[in-house]
Structure 1
Amino acid sequence: MTYILVLTTTNTMESANKIAKTLVDERVAACVNIFPYIKSYYVWEGKTTVDDEILLLIKSHNSMTQKLIQRIKELHPYKIPEIIIINFNEGFDKYLDWIKESVTLDENKD
């Protein structure tokens, strides 16, 4: 069984809360942690840019990968949102079981 950790950043706490609540309410994520302040340096439109952002760590099951990507893109204020997915299959068994139980694994459910 494979689980995923999804990383995304956004520009406001309102946006972070909306994304987190929606993903958990829709049961495509078991948990979303919000880190309220990070400073990001990146190249955008040919220039080095510095922004204050909010980091979201999203825990789910790999069966939700495409739904998570789709929902993050729909909810996100950025033209090209950061969506990085890290697969893992090891951790505290009871926690991994909780992720599995918390996420809707029914592929037909929308």
Structure 2
Amino acid sequence: MQANSLTIILTSVDSKENALSIAEILLRKKLAACVNILPGINSVYFWEGKLCNENEIIMLIKTRTELFNSVKKELLKIHPYKLPEIISLSVPNALEAYSNWVFDETTIKK
């Protein structure tokens, strides 16, 4: 398993309940090995011509790079936002045992 085949996908949501629901769906579908839920984030942005300052929760979704499109498709289906943030960050280096664990947790066993 190569560490560079890992990806962290970032998205933000409006509530802990939505974050937990999304995390559970991704984990049960083996699309993620782990999802960190980071509360207490302020996001400042323009939306439809209005300056917004919202409390949000950031989600860090740890998965294999090859699963990005599947995660994106699922997020677009279940995300509460009209235009969700879905950003992929490559992981150039990681502990090999952790990389192996991510690979194992995102592989459907027959």
Q: TM-score, normalised by structure 1?
A: 0.91
**What stretches of structure 1 move > 2 A for 4+ residues in a row?**
none
Q: Which amino acid aligns with 2:82?
A: K
Correspondence 1:41 to 2:51:
no
Tell me what 2:99 maps to.
96
Tell me what 1:54 maps to.
57
1:26-65 per-position Cα deviation (integer Å, ceiling 9, x unaligned): 1000000001221110111112110000110000001111
Higher RCO (CA-CA < 8 Å; seq separation 6+): 2
Correspondence 1:6 to 2:6:
no
Correspondence 1:69 to 2:72:
yes
Task: Tell me how far apart the structure 2 counterparts of residues 27 and 49 of structure 1 sit (CA, whole Å).
Answer: 34
Shift of 1:105: 6.5
Residue identity over aligned pairs, in percent, reads 35
Q: How many residues align?
A: 106
Aligned Cα RMSD in Å? 1.3
Q: Residue 10 of structure 1 contacts residue 78 of structure 1 at CA under 8 Å; is this kept in 2?
A: yes
Q: Which runs of 5+ in 2 are unaligned?
A: none
